Structure 1
Amino acid sequence: MSQPPTMHPCERVGIDYVDTAPHRYANSVDLAITPDQLFEVFADADAWPRWAKVIRHVEWTSPLPPGVGSTRVVSMLGGLEGAEEFLLWEPGRRMGFRFNEASERSIRAFAERYDVEPTAHGCRLTWTLALDVTGPGKHFMPVSGLVSNLSFRWFLRNLRRYTDQRFATARSS
């Protein structure tokens, strides 16, 4: 069995960091599900790797159901792990979290916010990811950020396909 990665502290930013970070990526998708169904997906650790393909495993490290202060560890491609703490959990409206620790020393601060608005045919999700990095990676952020943002758009298309499949029987009954 492999050793768990060494974790490095990240700045414990507030949720407002999502609006002020040096590197921000915001993308939206219209989903044919209710806001409550979307939060069912968010709470399901097994769902995340199905649509956000960079995620390999999600483990809640605090009791469910999730809420403000809940924690989880997310394992991603390339061995990156993030120990997350939820700063927002408002079912049907919004959620957000930050990294308290990361296996990659260059991540100075990291946070995400998911804003959900009801629509006539389901809901609209706006996902904003915010971060700051240190070291040599900082110089590559303009290019790597563009590539990352394309990946985030792809993840949201995957989320639409995943939720269409997951809730297809609920819509047809």
Structure 2
Amino acid sequence: MARRLRSVGLEFAESAPLRLVFAREVSASPEAVYRALADDIADWPEWFTAVTLCRPTDDGKGREVRLKGGTRFWETVVAADPAQRYAYRVDESNAPGLRALLEEWRLTPAGTGTRVQWTFAADGAAPFRFALKLGRAGLGRAFRDAVTALDRRLAAANA
């Protein structure tokens, strides 16, 4: 059953009780990465294998996301700065123990490509925080695999 989470703003990316930050450089431009993140939302399952569905809601101001294993998120986009940042907070979820969640994708030019940084900022009950800390390596691997797959996808589209 979905529960309403605490509403947080962009500052939560820096102040959350639990912050997991991952970064990777890709060959695609910041503009191309941004379009894939913010404009081509329905394509997320093609490159982020943990995602089974991602669709815009509320005329693009929100998203519905489903993950493997049955976790669902109803989100609000809180930052959409082309070629720089894309961020969303989770408003409702069926994830047990989760109280607040904000994800931020920062894009920085790096040579001819982009440095992609993903911040997973969360708050939850003690067992949730403990499980997330234990799962840090898995989240990092999922991020690396997803960004690598996205970079390949963008390169193929431009070939």
Matched, 1:118 2:81: no
Aligned to 2:59, the other structure's residue is in SS state: coil
Give the aligned partner of residue 98 of structure 1: 89
RMSD across aligned positions (CA): 1.9
Matched, 1:59 2:55: yes
Kindly, what percent of the aligned residue pairs are identical?
22
Give the aligned partner of residue 9 of structure 2: 14
* Partner deviation per Cα, 1:116-173 (whole Å, 9 max, x = no partner): 1011121101100011112xxx236335423234333333233223322332352x5x
1:16-165 counterparts in 2 under 5 A?
Answer: 16-42=11-37, 43-64=39-60, 70-134=61-125, 138-139=126-127, 141-165=129-153
- Report the count of equivalent residues: 158
Residues in 1 aligned to 2:155 and 2:58: alpha-carbon distance in whole angstroms: 27
Aligned to 1:46, the other structure's residue is in SS state: helix
What letter matches 2:139 in structure 1? Answer: S
Residues in 2 aligned to 1:108 and 1:143: alpha-carbon distance in whole angstroms: 14
Shift of 1:91: 0.7
Shift of 1:7: 2.0
Shift of 1:50: 2.5
What runs of 5+ residues in structure 1 fail to find an aligned partner? 1-5, 65-69
Aligned to 1:155, the other structure's residue is in SS state: helix
Q: Which has the larger radius of gyration?
A: 1
Residues in 2 aligned to 1:112 and 1:26: alpha-carbon distance in whole angstroms: 10
CA contact (8 A) 2:22 2:143 kept: no
CA contact (8 A) 2:47 2:153 kept: no
Q: 1:24 to 1:46 in 2, by over 3 A?
A: same
TM superposition score normalised by structure 2? 0.89
